[in-house]
Structure 1
Amino acid sequence: MARSWNVEIQLFSADEVRSDEPVTTAHAVLTTAAGATLNGYGRARRNPEDQDIEEIGEELAAARALRDLADRLLRATSDDISAIEHHRVVLPR
């Protein structure tokens, strides 16, 4: 039987977080089939001299949030295995 895990990504632009900086932030939330959640965060800052293309900032912030989420999931898995094995386990990236 297959199980589904869902990831939701919320994107916030500078005007939504009340910042004068050209920044886009992303919050990725993984929800497992059992209802457990894990969060990842990402940020993209546009050089003020670059064109203002919102989609590029969103893509970069989302990618960084997903990378952070993946790293946190690997750490959680490593911790779970360590608890079972009774020694430190480090999973490669």
Structure 2
Amino acid sequence: MRATVGDRIVVASGVVGGAVRDGVVVACEREDGSPPYRVRWSDTGEETLVFPGADTLVRHGDDDQVVEPTPARSVTWQVQLTLLEAAGSTTAEATLVAGPAEHGDVGAIRAVGHARKDPGDVEVPVIGDEVAAGRALRRLADALLGQAEQDISARTGHAAHVHP
């Protein structure tokens, strides 16, 4: 993406139904026109430094040509959480069902978390649910990051570490 002073920047909202913002490039930080850009937003008059993402368009001032970024990629992953509570103990199973990816299918990743109430505490099932679910989801996140490390290592041929 390249821009010059006077070009318009249009940024789509990151949420469904959110506002689209536009502004004018008032300064380019690099001589070659590559990002970042200083933009004056039309809705607030505020100037900010912009590092355009996949949701950003540049409208050139001289020919009204639109330069579009690489199309956004959209997939849906679902997490299913199953809870079983019995005799003051709760077990949660979190399963990530990942949609098909560009280079294969992530498939399903599963993790389990447990919670057990102290014998002297009053039984409040929702607390056991929260603790067991939180532990299962944390383990699921760790497993997903571990899978990403393996995938990066396989593609690059070097050991990878993804910071949580």
Which TM bucket (shorter chain)? 0.7 to 0.9
Structure 2 length-normalised TM? 0.51
- Partner residue of 1:12? 84
- Aligned residues between the structures: 87
User: Gapped runs of 5+ residues in structure 1?
Assistant: 16-21
Structure showing greater Rg: 2
Alignment of 1:47-62 (within 5 A): 47-62=118-133
Deviation at 1:87, TM superposition (A): 1.2
Aligned equivalent of 1:3, options 75, 83, 108? 75
Q: Give the deviation of 1:4 after TM superposition.
A: 0.8
1:73 corresponds to 2:144? yes
What amino acid is the match of 2:82? Q
Where in structure 2 are the equivalents of 1:20-35 lying within 5 Å?
22-34=88-100
Which amino acid in structure 2 is aligned with residue 26 of structure 1?
A
- Identity over the aligned pairs, expressed in percent? 38
The normalised TM-score by structure 1 is 0.88
Question: How far apart, in 1, do the equivalents of 2:77 and 2:163 lie?
Answer: 22
The alignment's C-alpha RMSD in Å is 1.2
* Structure with more relative contact order (C-alpha pairs < 8 Å, separation 6 or more): 1
Letter in 2 for 1:38: I
Unaligned segments of structure 2, at least 5 residues: 1-72
Stretches of 4+ aligned residues off by more than 2 angstroms: none
Normalized per residue, which structure has more strand?
A: 2
